Amino acid sequence: MHDLVIRGGTIVDGSGEERRAGDVAIDGDRLSQVGGRAGPARRELDADGLLVAPGWVDIHTHYDGQVTWDPYLTPSSWHGVTSVVMGNCGVGFAPADPDKHDWLIGLMEGVEDIPGTALAEGIRWEWESFPEYLDALERMPRALDVGAQVPHGAVRAYVMGERGAKNEPPTADDIERMAGIVREGIEAGALGFTTSRTLLHRAIDGEPVPGTFASEDEVLGIGRVLGELGKGVFEMASDLAPESRELAWVHQLARETGRPVTFACLQNDVDPDQWRRLLDSAEEAAAVGAPVVPQVAVRPTGILMGLESTAHPFKQNRAYMEIADKPLAERVALMKSAEWRERILGQRIDFSDPLSAFVMSSFHKLFPLGDPPDYEPTPDKSVRAIAEREGRDPLEVVYDMLLRHEGRELLYFPILNYAGFDFEPIHEMVTHPQSVLGLSDGGAHCGLICDASAPTYLLTHWVRDRRRGERLELEWAVRAQTRRTAELYGLEDRGLLAPGMKADLNLIDFDALSVAPPEMIYDLPSDAPRLVQRADGYRATLKSGEVILEDGEPTGALPGKLLRGPQA
């Protein structure tokens, strides 16, 4: 008598092998039979007409604060994710001096656009060291499994104080102490170490993330700990500038330690062919046994602009700023009036920094997102193209669009991965043998980006809805976001439907699977806002043999655990 049998589904097991029909049996938190006809069970789920796949393993999230108050880690769990890895990009909340709590919150708020008011109200600081942080997480009930990484920013500030926070060079003793803290964290169960080396990542006060300019001695001195322990991933966000020098130490670290070094690989408008060089570099590293792993996204990284968003083209308009703090409905009513329309459109803005100027005035790359959302819009759908057809100023078009749907319309600016309005770079990055899917940023960028829906988008857009000849195979796509991501972090007990593996599963109505438009809700602590995106088509999501969501709604089951280190 099995505990649970899932009857008659189409099994896509995460191995990449061809799908097959059959039953899946579960006993306790493990799979006991996959395929064939299973015997009787205490409970059965009818999977006729449904895909049965492993739970998704998302390796690039920023739930480091939310994990302390939200057992479901939405919106990721709405999209079939059953295991997450957080602490990416060098930011997190441990180790934490008691007098550095506000500073750590400001660092996360600036880098990841998570409202500081929500973090300040939601986090209960029950730790100082990284092992104490893990202990606190382990005590909290949750639906998903969570793994944490040791963040460079927090470590540097903890060891070096203001010198570390201000990116001053460390002494040899500083590096040794930082390496010791990372060692302590990995031994306690951290899945890796992370750092940020991009000028885009800044604290709320404008300071670059601690570690942005770290020397090779510092990153190698810390990174070698992973090799000495024989476990852990070295993750970084980086501008890779100068490229050859940065890649040289990355290759050296991966070759010396044998541990994976993973970094964000995205197409940018300034150097639109860099991604090819990065993939070639990863191939060269693999040829000499150095595990260098580009981390790629399944769609353009797009800023979502609306009247409730962190940014939109009128945000710094002096006239608009007079009403910016009013409730949305009142603001919309004023903006619809002839008086305020004339006042706001009558002013032009001189943006203080080049990036803002580029984003806010590049109307050829600004689009209505639409319903269903269109993440690969063609140039004729841009604000500039619409303005030219209608003989209007592009800002007028933007103004009218922002007022649609009672001010809840979202405009889409694909800032990365869409330099030439071409999907082919994404296709090549995603399917490259050295790359791994990531960069969903679940839990982060609450006012600008909403990419935690990436697993669902991969199945709908790339597997089901593209033209024939452009689609990805279902079996490949499932493996890419289950077994492939799990293996990178040593989570060998999941991402595959086979006897003895973790009973983490999704039951999916593939034909009905869809991604809803993003929406702004106010459910964070202190009623702070965040963009979320729902999905339809997940009939059930199981974690460790228990159904945690049915049709996207929580069941109350909380079988999730803290992941302490690699899982055999």
pLDDT in tens, 22-60: 999 999 999 999 999 999 999 999 999 999 999 999 999
Q: b vs e for 306-344, b when ≥16 Cβ sit within 10 Å of the residue's Cβ?
A: bbbbbbbbbbbbebbeebeeeeeeebbbbbeeeebbebb
pLDDT band at 205 (very low <50, low <70, confident <90, very high): very high
234 contacts 191 by C-beta, under 8 angstroms = no
Mean pLDDT in residue range 206-234: 98
Sign of CA dihedral 147, 149, 153, 156: positive
564 to 2, 145, 147, 544: CA distances (angstroms):
29, 10, 7, 16
CA nearest neighbour of 334 among 248, 427, 399: 399
The predicted model gives 419-425 an average pLDDT of 90
Q: Is 106 in a helix, a strand, or coil?
A: helix
Tell me the average pLDDT across 535-557: 98
Note every long-range contact of 345-350, with CB atoms under 8 Å and residues 24 or more positions apart, other chains counting.
345/393, 345/395, 345/396, 345/399, 346/319, 347/317, 347/318, 347/319, 349/316, 349/317
Average pLDDT over residues 274-284: 98
Average of pLDDT values for 261-270?
96
What's the start-to-end Cα distance of the chain, in Å?
27
Q: Is the pLDDT of residue 378 over 80?
A: yes
DSSP output for 456-468: HHIIIIIIIISPT
What is the torsion angle, in degrees rounded to the nearest 10, for the CA atoms of residue 196, residue 201, residue 206 and residue 211?
0
Mean pLDDT of 267-286: 97
Of 26, 72, 79, 34, nearest to 57 by C-alpha is 79
Determine which helix (DSSP H) or strand (DSSP E) holds 477, and give its type and residue range: helix 474-480
pLDDT of residue 353: 78
Domains of the chain plus CATH, in order, are: 56-300+418-489+499-515 (3.20.20.140), 305-415 (no CATH)
Given a cut of 80, is residue 352 above it in pLDDT?
no
Q: Can you count the helices (H) and strands (E) in the chain?
A: 20, 25
Instruction: Give which of 24, 84, 82 is closest to 51, Cα–Cα.
Output: 24
Question: Residue 174 has what pLDDT?
Answer: 98
- Is the bond into 95 cis (omega within 30 degrees of 0)? yes
C-beta of residue 212 within 8 angstroms of C-beta of residue 197 = yes
The rounded distance, in Å, linking the Cα atoms of 44 and 310 is 46
pLDDT of residue 21: 98
Residue 88 clears pLDDT 80, i.e. is over it: yes
Q: What is the DSSP letter of 565?
A: S
Average pLDDT value over all residues in the chain:
97
pLDDT at 423 exceeding the cut of 90: no
Average pLDDT estimate for 257-261? 98
Region 142-149: mean pLDDT is: 98
Q: Which residues are within 8 A (CB) of 99 and not within 5 positions of it... i.e. 6 or more apart?
A: none
Q: Are 4 and 41 in contact (CB under 8 A)?
A: yes
Q: Is 483 helix (H, G, I), strand (E, B) or coil?
A: helix
pLDDT at 338: 97
Confidence (pLDDT) at 348: 84
Question: Whole-model pTM?
Answer: 0.97
pLDDT > 80? residue 530: yes
With a pLDDT cut of 70, the percent of the chain lying above it is: 100
Tokens of 267: 């197409």
CA 398 remoteness from chain centre: 28
Burial, 30: exposed, middle or buried (Cβ in 10 Å; 0-12, 13-18, 19+)?
Answer: middle
Q: What angle do CA 399, 527, 415 make, to 5 degrees?
A: 45
Check if the beta carbon of residue 477 is closer than 8 Å to that of residue 513. Answer: no
Residue range 507-534: mean pLDDT, rounded: 98
Residue 74 has pLDDT above 80, yes or no: yes
Percent of the chain exceeding pLDDT 90 equals 96
Quickly state the pLDDT bin for 357 (edges 50, 70, 90).
confident
Least reliable range by pLDDT among 79-88, 461-470, 497-506, 522-531: 461-470
Report whether 179 contacts 229 (CB < 8 A): no
Q: How many CA atoms lie within 13 A of 397 on its CB side?
A: 21
DSSP element (H, E) containing 514: strand 514-515
The rounded distance, in Å, linking the Cα atoms of 452 and 45 is 27
In order of 11, 42, 71, 549, the CA distances from 539 in angstroms are 15, 20, 20, 8
pLDDT surpassing 90 at residue 7: yes
